[in-house]
Structure 1
Amino acid sequence: MILTEWLDEIPDDWACVPAWSLFSERADKAEPDAVHLTPSQAYGVLPQTEYMEIAGSRVVLNLTGADKMKAVYEGDFISHLRSFQGGLEQSSLRGKVSQAYTVLRPSPLVQSGYFRYLMKSRIFIEQLNNLTDQLRDGQTINYARFARMGLPLPPLESQRIIAQYLDHETYEIDAMLAKLDVLNEALNSRRASVVERETIARSGSLTRLKFCADISLGKTFQGVRKSDHETSVNYIRAASIQPSCLELDDQRMWMTREEQRKYDLRKGDVLVVEGGAGFGRSAHLAQDMPGWGFQNHVIRVRPDQHHDGRFLNYCVKGHYSSGLIGLLADGATIPGLSSDKAKNLPIPDMSLEEQQRIADHLDEVTGRIDAMLATIDELKALLVERRAALITDVVTGRKKVPA
């Protein structure tokens, strides 16, 4: 039986054929000195060393099974452990991959450009979700089921025309996305520059954050109730503090009434990420958050009566963008901004009225920039949606392309 339910209908001169007739599973043993390849959703198929350099991360090195790796040839398609999210990747390189991957060898009926778009299309990826087997580190394609999947097969010349059309159209869309990325970067740089200039770069006397506010860490996560006096409450965690806003979710831990008072969150507080990814990011609370607490990877900065929380937040952001917070974390086993280092961050020493004037000004300026950044995000989302919809419509024959 051919699994064709994912295809509504195809043009009269197209065929719908089982995947096994177009792709066979390659099981060739790789040469020992072949280049170790890494298929990825974001970058395609790259040599492992190049992937690690670009992605800035390590991958699990396959040492024990180095003599059992699969060969990959130019034009092969590879199912990786995130194919259920990003489709199959085509390799332009010859090399080898671990046995965890499924390598597909195309038949002469396959025009690589067309199938490269088909196997990254949204509708194809949705179908892949029905053909996966759970593994410890992700999901891989069950070839036996994939082989029965119905695939559209336009005539070879039509495949070539479709690939050329999509090459042109996606190039135009990608060029627009790249321009928006440049504008986004310029606006973020402008935002950081304005904040730095109006806060940490000002001439004059300095004080320390510890002399401006009460600074404390939150409670270590407690997922199990230990007493009848404890209540399940929402809490702010490090991941909640994003560059431009707070992202709240229904994360809970157990706290006593005393702890709820100790770890409460009030209007004017500044929250700073203490450790982990994004350490040094900060957010200002514009209102009370009754019933919420915060965990121990978040620093709460509670201004005294002589200091404005918005101004202190802008100062922390200035130190973050200027690189000081990153420098303070250098040498630490786990990079982070400890509460002791946060206490000693330099803060311009000025009157409350001057702080409020600067904060009002920065609210206005950054508000305008944030509105432009939001518009860019909306435009990018529309272009990404347009790109995905176009590919799906063309590779399935819903949209005809000019010859």
Structure 2
Amino acid sequence: MTLIAPNHIEGQTGRLLTQESAEDQGADSGKYLVKAGQVIYSKIRPQLNKATVAPSDCLCSADMYALSFRDGVDTRYAVYYILARPFHTFASVLSARVKMPKVNREELGDAPWLVPPLDEQRAIVDYLDRETCQIDTLIAEQKRLVEMLKERRQAMIDHAFAESSQRIQLRRFIEFLTSGSRGWGDYYADTGDVFVRIANLPRGSLSLGGDVQRVSLPSTVYEGQRTKLKVGDLLFSITAYVGSVAVVDQEWVDSYVSQHVALCRIDRSALDSKFTGYFMLSTEGQDQLSQGAFGGTKVQLALDDIQALRVPAPPLDKQRQIAEHLDRETSRIDILIAESERLVELSQERRTALITAAVTGQIDVRQEG
């Protein structure tokens, strides 16, 4: 029997329904028994915009509701209505009123519904099936393009290090290696020094970014001075998203790092920071980081694992040449990826707007046919 979970459902962002759940049906293992034709709806924020019609009897996870509708409601129309903005807004408000970020099952039954005659519901469904199919095709094409561009980017990085070259342990080039101080969450503030967290490390490039967290340190705190960043420092994620690597530029100088980030300062007269960073993004480099992370009982890197990394060390001018080449070429690919991802985002927004307009009567689907 198929198991349905929120991530398996495509979606965008009077009491008319009844609800059935695992508790009602005596199911175990936190799974719901769903009948063919019922609407499966994700109850967990931020996945409140995911719904589908069960194609057959199946199981779904405890993060879902199985919804049955009264006579006069086409279940396909119900799915589109759930995906529209008014219902999503209503569900989001409900999810914020309970301790856990999820929709309250009892209150969900009081959701506001606009239910036109059954023949009009079906006309709306037919119209939206046609229009969203075209949009979904465009989205799928752009997502495939993004994946192809990412593969091309990875192949380019791998090719730059494909030449046979001796690998030397990184410890030979390390001048200073540490992880951040613990307990600095107590010092979070709106103003103060920048505090680099794992979220600031990129997933596939070398530039720090993301939301900036600041810390205001008491005058008695000196221990963190060892973790102040300098230009060219290498940063490694060591407790989550293992494989994320960054090279510090001028914008992030004098920031501090969290306990989940390792700061590696290398001898830049022998090893170029960007060259080394790009190598760690190669398949060979990522494999080394993964092997170190899974070597113990938890997925994490120790400082000894970073020291043991084996990196190429050709002449410095060759290293810089490779780093500059990868900077230039990966930037071009990144622009194309960003453009495609933006097109996907705009298409998804258009999809939601179209569904909302159709189910709320803002467009007459009979004239659009």
2:5 matched residue in structure 1? none
Q: Select 1:372's aligned residue among 322, 336, 342.
A: 336
1:363 matched residue in structure 2? 327
Q: CA deviation at 1:29?
A: 7.3
Q: Select 1:203's aligned residue among 164, 167, 172.
A: 164
Whether contact under 8 Å (1:87, 1:128) holds in the other structure is no
1:293 matched residue in structure 2? 256
Whether contact under 8 Å (2:167, 2:311) holds in the other structure is yes
Q: CA deviation at 1:94?
A: 3.9
SS at match of 1:326: helix
Q: Select 2:18's aligned residue among 24, 32, 40.
A: 24
SS at match of 2:340: helix
**1:110 paired to 2:104:** no
Could you give the per-residue CA deviations for residues 380-401 of structure 1, whole angstroms, max 9, x where no partner exists?
Answer: 1111111111111111111222
Whether contact under 8 Å (1:234, 1:252) holds in the other structure is yes
In 2 relative to 1, CA 287–381 (structure 1 residues): closer, same or farther, beyond 3 Å? same
Whether contact under 8 Å (1:27, 1:103) holds in the other structure is yes
User: 1:63-74 residue pairs with structure 2 within 5 A?
Assistant: 72-74=34-36
In 2 relative to 1, CA 133–316 (structure 1 residues): closer, same or farther, beyond 3 Å? closer
Structure 1: give runs of 5+ residues left out of the alignment: 1-17, 37-60, 63-68, 226-230
**1:239 paired to 2:199:** yes
User: 1:141-290 residue pairs with structure 2 within 5 A?
Assistant: 141=104, 143=106, 146-147=109-110, 149-199=111-161, 201-214=162-175, 215-224=177-186, 233-243=193-203, 244=205, 245=207, 246-252=209-215, 254=217, 258-276=222-240, 278-287=241-250, 289-290=252-253
Whether contact under 8 Å (2:77, 2:121) holds in the other structure is yes
1:342 matched residue in structure 2? 306
Q: Distance in 2 between matches of 1:30 and 1:375?
A: 47
SS at match of 1:378: helix
2:86 matched residue in structure 1? 123
Whether contact under 8 Å (1:83, 1:125) holds in the other structure is no
Whether contact under 8 Å (1:133, 1:142) holds in the other structure is no
Q: CA deviation at 1:260?
A: 4.1
Q: CA deviation at 1:372?
A: 0.9
Structure 2: give runs of 5+ residues left out of the alignment: 1-13
Whether contact under 8 Å (1:271, 1:298) holds in the other structure is yes
TM-score (norm 2): 0.81
Q: Distance in 2 between matches of 1:380 and 1:28?
A: 36
Whether contact under 8 Å (1:224, 1:254) holds in the other structure is no
Q: Distance in 2 between matches of 1:146 and 1:325?
A: 49
Could you give the per-residue CA deviations for residues 322-354 of structure 1, whole angstroms, max 9, x where no partner exists?
Answer: 533223333422112322111121211222211
Whether contact under 8 Å (1:223, 1:253) holds in the other structure is no
Could you give the per-residue CA deviations for residues 228-276 of structure 1, whole angstroms, max 9, x where no partner exists?
Answer: xxx9643111222121342232253747564343111111112111112
- The letter of the residue matching 1:223 is G
Q: Distance in 2 between matches of 1:97 and 1:194?
A: 41
**1:76 paired to 2:38:** yes
Q: Distance in 2 between matches of 1:361 and 1:390?
A: 44
- The letter of the residue matching 2:138 is M
Give the number of aligned pairs: 344
Supply the RMSD in Å over aligned alpha carbons: 3.1
Could you give the per-residue CA deviations for residues 281-303 of structure 1, whole angstroms, max 9, x where no partner exists?
Answer: 11112215344200121111222
Q: CA deviation at 1:280?
A: 1.8
Identity, % of aligned pairs?
26
